[in-house]
Every structure is written in structure tokens, then in C-alpha cells.
Chain A
Amino acid sequence: MITVIDYGLGNVQAFANVYKRLDIPVNVAKSLDDLAETTKIILPGVGSFDRAMQQFNSCGMRKLIEQLVLEEGIPILGVCVGMQMLANSSEEGKLSGLGWVDGNVKRFDGASMLQTQNLPHMGWNNVVTKTEGDLFKGINVENKFYFLHSFHFDCCNKSNIIGVTDYGFNFTSAIKKKNIFGVQFHPEKSHHYGGQLLKNYSEI
């Protein structure tokens, strides 16, 4: 059972709808009991970093999710701010991140861009994947995903990067560390190929 964590932020229903359309069992977790049958977790996120961390820390599920992911090896997919929460910290806020993937979330810096770009990064863009299979099976570089963010994940360990996207420079748009996955874009709002990615995740 795929479980979408509802800690009060993010488009929980959109994920559930995609999986229902794909005929893949899904539930939404608002409390500990809802995590009983989970085999895979999705951590969504829309909003500011501190707000997301605050809500997640106080939702009552953090400890159990931590145990499921870090000790039992259950896969987790962080989406957008949900991906950023996996980092140690964010320039957007003061609170600590989960620190499950070594890295820090940074503001897009216009000065480091080869070509000036409007910020936030908003719209459909490509993801160049560095590994075969897994999340991006059946998805090629022509396929686009929807992005909506002003901050990006800066990985300390480059081997955790599985996808990059060009927006003035190549920033990290997908990460993987063992059973922990993160994507900066919104697969739940990326039509066909977003659905493919979520299906791939269910089959990992």
C-alpha cells in the first residue's frame, strides 16, 4: 500500500487520484493508525520550508515514519518541499531539515546563472537522468515535468543525484539515497509522465 502523508500541507488528494486512476492501492495517512499497512511513503509539500517542517514535526507521525524509513528500509518519495525537507537545512528557513540525504537547500542565485532567468522557476522543464531504470523508467529527456520553486537541493554527495534540470545551470531535480527518493517537480501534476513516474515508484 502506498501511503501519502497528510500533515496539513501539499496536494495529498492529487497523489491519491493518480494512483486510483492507475488502479494501484493507496491511502492517506493523517495519524499513526493509517501507517499500519504502508509499504511505500510519499511526502508531499507545498509552501515554505519552516512551515512544512513545523507541521511535519507536530503531526504525530514523524517518529514512526523515521523508524519505517531509516530502520525498516521502507521507500519514501519527497516531492517539492517534501524533497527539500530531506536535506539538513534550507536557506528559506531557520528550522532543521530531516537530514536523511546529505545536502542543503539553496536559493537560486541569479549571479551563478549563465543566462538570467525569471525566478521562481515556474513551468514545464526537462529532467536529464543519470541512472537507468528505477524512477525514470520509460521516461526520456524530451518528457517534461511541472516545476514551481525558488529553492533547490544542493547535494553534498554527488552520487545521490539521479536527475538534473537546466535553469540557468544544471540544478539537482531528483535524488536517491538507498530507499530515500526526492523529486523537485510535481509528478502528481505532470500529466502522463508524472503518472509514469509515480507508477515506477510503486514498482520499486
Chain B
Amino acid sequence: MLFPRITPCLLIRNNGLVKTVKFKPFKYIGDPINAVKIFNEKEADELIVLDIDASAKGLEPDFSLIKKLAAECQMPLCYGGGIKTLEHATRIIKLGVEKVAISSAFIENPNLLIEIITEIGSQSGVVILDVKKTILGKYEVYVNNGNTSTGQSPIDLAQKAEKFGAGEVVINSIDNDGVMGGYDLSLASKVRKAVDIPISFLGGAGNLNHMGELIKLCGVVGVASGSFFVFKGSLRAVLINYPSYSDKSKLIKDSLNIS
């Protein structure tokens, strides 16, 4: 059977690894290549790397860094940040990355996704949606590092991504980012029901129980997190970590109720 994926998500800024809370302050975590090496040793299921500078500053993807990451990474890698053209996407795939993620570029020009997947295949085209809850309790997708609302609902955009051929949608909760208090399960449930492609949820995991709650609710799903994999303890000391094989198996089997 197919298993849920437990996926660390690393944020890159100025060539370094950082972690945000609600998308805002940046805490320096360390060197991205070093982090990839540790996740190799821990045999992580897959890895998402997002360059949070690139799109916001209108920069191109940092191809030399991507090349180094892809060469080092022994698990499947999804890369996002600054991808605005078909050429960007194909070049990244050629560097040895399995999946490329677009966000604002998809919202501005959904046809770009069709162009990309025609070239690299549907399975490698990922759409990331950064989602924030308005004061009225409505979910909206944001761009520009969480600063600008598109006014569009994550359900509509996830369905649009599916219709345009995305292989996966990553739902990133801005409100829960770095808070480590659990996933936004109401958002997760709504999006899971709306599309039939794989989904990963990001934002909120602080412990294995939080991950278990998401798996119980959504079944075979991508369980992504930043803080959980880079911090240890209540004081948030930087320590790259990943659940052991037996802890991960137990978590998944208990959550899916299989023996």
C-alpha cells in the first residue's frame, strides 16, 4: 500500500536556511546542504526546498544552489521559488530535481502550468498555495510571502490546479506557520474533499500527534513541516531531526488503523 509521506520543508534565504513564524521573522537555522545530508542519513521520505527570497524579490531561481542540493539529496526533492517560465522549470528538472513548485506564477498565469507539465510530466508539477484566514473566517490565498491577498479561495485554486494538470497541491497555512500547535484540520478537510490529486499540508506540526491527526483525517497524504524537523524542545534549539523508521511506521499504522 501507499504510505503517507512525512516531508521536511526547508526555507532558503540569502543562501542560508531560515525558519519563519507566520511568515514573518527569520531565524537562521544553518547551511542547507548540511541539512540535506542529515535528512539523507535519517532517510526522510522526501524533501521540499523553498527559496522565499526569489519570488518576493523577483529573482530567478538560484540554479547553482539547486544543482548542489539535487546532487546531494538522496530522497525525492521538490523545489519552489522564483520559477516564472517554462525554461526555469525544465532547467531545474534537468539538474536532477523530481518536482518543481509554482505559486504566484500559477495564480498570475495558470497556462504556465500546462506548458510546464506538457514538458516535464504531470507528476512533477506542483502548485503551492499560501493560505490565511480572514477576520470573517474565510480562507484566502496570499502571494508575495503572505503580504498580498489574491482574494481567491484555496478550494477554487486547488481545483483549478487539478484541472490544469498539477500532480500535487501543497497547502501552506500562514496562520499556523511556525506555531507548532497542530495543522489547520478544518482547512485540510475542505481541500482534501475538493480534489483527487495528492496533497501535502504544511504549517502547524509541533509533534507526532499533530501529524497523526492529519493522517487520521486525510488518509494517505503529504505531512509536511518546517519547525518540527529543525527545532528541539520548548526553547526551540536548532536541531535537525526526523522520526526513526519505527516511530514513523507506528505513527502511520496507528493513524490509519492498520496492523
Contact = CB atoms under 8 A, between A and B. Distances in A.
Given A8-B94, A123-B198, A146 B122 contact: no
A17 B71 contact: yes
A48 interface: yes
B74 A47 contact: no
B138 to A, nearest CB: 26
Given A123-B45, A189-B75, A118 B198 contact: yes
B121 A47 contact: yes
B2 A150 contact: no
Given A46-B98, A123-B5, A118 B70 contact: no
A48 B3 contact: no
Contacts of A51: 119-121
A120 B123 contact: yes
Interface in A131-174: 144, 146-150, 166-167
A14 B199 CA distance: 25
Interface in B91-116: 93-94, 96-99
Contacts of B74: 14, 17-18, 189, 191
Nearest to A118: B198
A8 B96 CA distance: 10
Given A118-B220, A123-B45, A48 B121 contact: yes
Of B70, B74, B167, most A-chain CB atoms within 10 Å: B74
A57 interface: no
Nearest to A192: B43
B197 A119 contact: yes
B196 interface: yes
Contact of B2 (A8, A12, A124): A124
A11 B70 CA distance: 8
A48 B116 CA distance: 10
A125 interface: yes
B140 interface: no
B119 A146 contact: no
A70 to B, nearest CB: 27
A126 B1 contact: yes
B75 A122 contact: no
Given A118-B198, A123-B198, A150-B167, A14 B2 contact: no
Interface in A3-17: 8-14, 17
Interface in B1-32: 1-5
Given A14-B70, A120-B198, 6 more contacts: A11-B98, A17-B71, A17-B74, A81-B121, A150-B167, A189-B76
Interface of A: 8-14, 17-18, 46-48, 51, 81, 92, 110, 116-126, 144, 146-150, 166-167, 186, 189, 191-192
11 contacts: A13-B70, A48-B120, A48-B121, A51-B121, A118-B220, A119-B196, A124-B2, A124-B5, A150-B121, A150-B122, A191-B75
